[in-house]
C-alpha cells in the first residue's frame, strides 16, 4: 500500500513506524512539506530515497496514486489540509485537534460528513488496553450505570508548551485543544453519552514573568539556576525547546479545569496541570456507579475496581507500553484495515468534532466566565 504524508513531523513519523509494523509491505510514497531540505539533511538514513516530494497537496493527490493519506501539519492547518484530501475519498489519518476554531470546525463538519468512517482521528488513548478494559468493566454493569466521573491529567513534560512553537496560542488553539482533547475523547468513548454543556476555568500562575520576548535559554543570565533551563540539555532538546518559559511571550495557561454535563444529567470534572514534575504526574479517571467504582492511571499502568457494598477490590496491572500507552498500535492497525477495505474507523471524524467542540467551548467558558452549550453537533 502506498501512502502520502502532508506534514512530515515527528508525530507522523511515529505513526508510520506503527503502520509499518502492522503491514511490512506498506510504502511511504509521497510527502508534502515546506521543510523538505531540512528534513532530508536531519534525517539521513530514513527510508526517503524513493519518496516523491510535492509542492502542494493538490499536486500529490492528483499524481501519486495513493491508498491512504496522513496529515501531521501544525494544528491550525489540520482542517485546511483535510478539506483538500477528502474529495478523493481515500482513507485519511488526521492528527488532533481536527480544528482550532469554530469556523474551521463547521467547515470540516460540512465537508467530512460523507467520509466519517474512512477517517481515523489520532485519539490513541481510546484504543489503549487500559481504557478498553475500563469500558469492558463498565459495559458489563458491574459498577452500575456511571453517575459521576473525576478525571485528571498532571503533565510532567509540560515545558514543551512554553519552550517552543506550542507557546503560540494562535497556532495551537490553547491547551484544552492540545491536551484535554485526548482525555475528553476517551471519556466520551467510555461513557457513550453526548456532552451537552461545559463550564471551565484556567489560570497562569507559574509560567509567566518579565523576561524579554524571544529570549532563549542559552542567552539568559539565569540559565544555570533556572529549573526550566534547557541551555545545558542535550543538543536535540536545546534545538527543540530553545525559548525562555518565564518571558512575556510564553502564552498558554498552566492549569485548567472543566465541568462537563452529559445528556443523562450526570457530570464529570476534569483538571489538567502543566508544572508538576517527576512522580507527581498522573493521568486517568474514576468512574463511579452506585454499585462500585472503577479507576485507572496510565502512569501506574493499573486499573482498580472497588465495590461499594462488599469488601472487594480488584487490581489489574499492565506491562508499560510505548506509543500512547499502546494506543498507537491500535490506531495503526485500524488505519491499515481501512486501507485494505476490511474495517471502518474506530476513531471517527465525528469523534474528533465532538472533542474539539468541547475544548473550544471550554476555552470560551474560561475566557468569558459563562456556561457553554454543546449543541450544534
At 276-333, the pLDDT tens digits run 999 999 999 999 999 999 999 999 999 999 999 999 999 999 998 888 888 999 999 9
Residues whose CB falls within 8 Å of the CB of residue 148, separated by 6 or more in sequence, listed in order: 266, 267, 268, 288
- pLDDT tens digits, 216-273: 999 999 999 999 999 999 998 999 999 999 999 999 999 999 999 999 999 999 999 9
Cell of 118: 474512512
d(C-alpha 132, C-alpha 26), whole Å:
27
Q: Do 335 and 246 belong together in one domain?
A: no
Please give the mean pLDDT across all residues of the chain.
95
Q: Do 114 and 69 belong together in one domain?
A: yes
Which range among 42-51, 86-95, 109-118, 342-351 shows the weakest confidence by mean pLDDT?
Answer: 42-51
Q: Do 306 and 165 belong together in one domain?
A: yes
- Given this model, what pLDDT does residue 48 score? 84
Q: Do 152 and 104 belong together in one domain?
A: no
Q: Do 296 and 156 belong together in one domain?
A: yes
User: Whole-prediction pTM value?
Assistant: 0.95
Q: Which domain holds residue 294?
A: 126-320+356-373
- DSSP H helices, 122-276, are 129-139, 160-163, 169-172, 175, 181-191, 235-240
d(C-alpha 199, C-alpha 212), whole Å:
34
Cell of 153: 491529567
Q: Do 219 and 273 belong together in one domain?
A: yes
* The total number of structural domains that make up the chain: 2
Instruction: Please state the rounded mean pLDDT for residues 332-347.
Output: 96
270, 148 Cβ separation under 8 angstroms: no
- Domain holding 245: CATH number? 3.30.360.10
Q: Do 135 and 259 belong together in one domain?
A: yes
Q: Do 30 and 146 belong together in one domain?
A: no
Count CB neighbours of 223 within 10 A. Answer: 16
Contacts for 299-302 with beta carbons within 8 Å, 24 or more apart? 301/130, 301/325
- Domain holding 112: CATH number? 3.40.50.720
Q: Do 159 and 54 belong together in one domain?
A: no
CA angle 172, 13, 122 (to 5 degrees): 50
Q: Do 84 and 45 belong together in one domain?
A: yes
Q: Do 278 and 338 belong together in one domain?
A: no
Instruction: Assess whether the previous peptide bond of 111 is cis (omega < 30° from 0).
Output: no
Count CB neighbours of 263 within 10 A. Answer: 11
* Ramachandran angles phi, psi of 130, nearest 5°: -65, -45
Q: Do 188 and 333 belong together in one domain?
A: no
Amino acid at each position: 500500500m502506498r501512502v502520502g504524508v502532508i506534514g512530515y513531523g515527528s508525530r507522523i513519523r511515529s505513526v508510520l513506524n506503527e503502520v509499518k509494523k502492522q503491514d511490512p509491505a506498506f510504502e511511504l510514497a509521497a510527502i508534502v512539506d515546506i521543510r523538505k531540505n531540512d528534513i532530508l539533511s536531519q534525517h539521513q538514513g530514513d527510508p526517503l530515497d524513493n519518496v516523491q516530494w510535492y509542492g502542494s497537496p493538490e499536486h500529490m493527490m492528483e499524481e501519486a496514486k495513493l491508498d491512504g493519506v496522513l496529515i501531521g501539519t501544525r494544528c491550525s492547518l489540520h482542517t485546511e489540509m483535510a478539506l483538500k484530501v477528502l474529495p478523493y475519498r481515500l482513507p485519511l489519518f488526521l492528527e488532533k485537534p481536527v480544528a482550532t476554531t469554530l469556523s474551521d470546525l463547521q467547515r470540516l463538519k460540512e465537508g467530512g460528513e460523507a467520509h466519517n468512517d474512512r477517517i481515523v482521528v489520532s485519539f490513541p488513548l481510546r484504543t489503549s488496553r487500559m481504557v478498553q478494559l475500563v469500558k469492558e468493566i463498565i459495559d458489563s454493569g458491574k459498577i452500575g450505570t456511571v453517575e459521576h466521573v473525576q478525571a485528571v491529567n498532571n503533565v510532567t513534560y509540560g515545558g514543551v508548551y512554553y519552550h517552543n512553537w506550542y507557546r503560540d496560542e494562535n497556532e495551537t488553539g490553547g491547551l484544552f485543544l492540545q491536551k484535554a482533547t485526548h482525555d475528553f475523547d476517551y471519556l466520551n468513548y467510555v461513557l457513550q453519552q453526548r456532552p451537552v454543556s461545559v463550564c471551565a476555568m484556567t489560570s497562569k500562575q507559574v509560567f509567566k514573568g518579565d523576561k524579554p520576548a524571544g529570549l532563549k535559554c542559552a542567552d539568559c543570565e539565569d540559565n544555570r539556576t533556572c529549573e526550566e533551563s534547557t541551555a545545558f540539555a542535550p543538543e536535540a532538546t536545546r534545538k527543540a525547546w530553545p525559548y525562555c518559559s518565564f518571558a512575556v511571550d510564553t502564552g498558554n495557561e498552566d492549569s485548567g479545569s472543566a465541568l462537563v454535563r452529559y445528556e443523562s444529567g450526570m457530570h464529570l470534572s476534569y483538571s489538567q496541570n502543566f508544572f508538576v514534575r517527576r512522580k507527581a504526574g498522573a493521568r486517568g479517571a474514576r468512574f463511579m456507579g452506585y454499585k462500585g467504582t472503577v479507576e485507572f492511571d496510565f502512569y501506574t499502568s493499573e486499573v482498580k475496581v472497588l465495590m461499594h457494598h462488599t469488601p472487594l477490590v480488584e487490581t489489574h496491572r499492565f506491562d508499560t507500553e510505548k506509543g500512547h500507552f499502546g494506543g498507537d498500535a491500535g490506531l495503526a492497525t485500524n488505519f491499515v484495515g481501512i486501507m485494505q477495505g476490511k474495517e471502518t474507523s474506530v476513531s471517527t471524524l465525528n469523534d474528533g468534532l465532538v472533542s474539539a467542540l468541547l475544548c473550544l467551548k471550554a476555552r470560551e467558558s474560561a475566557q468569558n466566565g459563562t456556561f457553554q452549550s454543546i449543541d450544534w453537533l
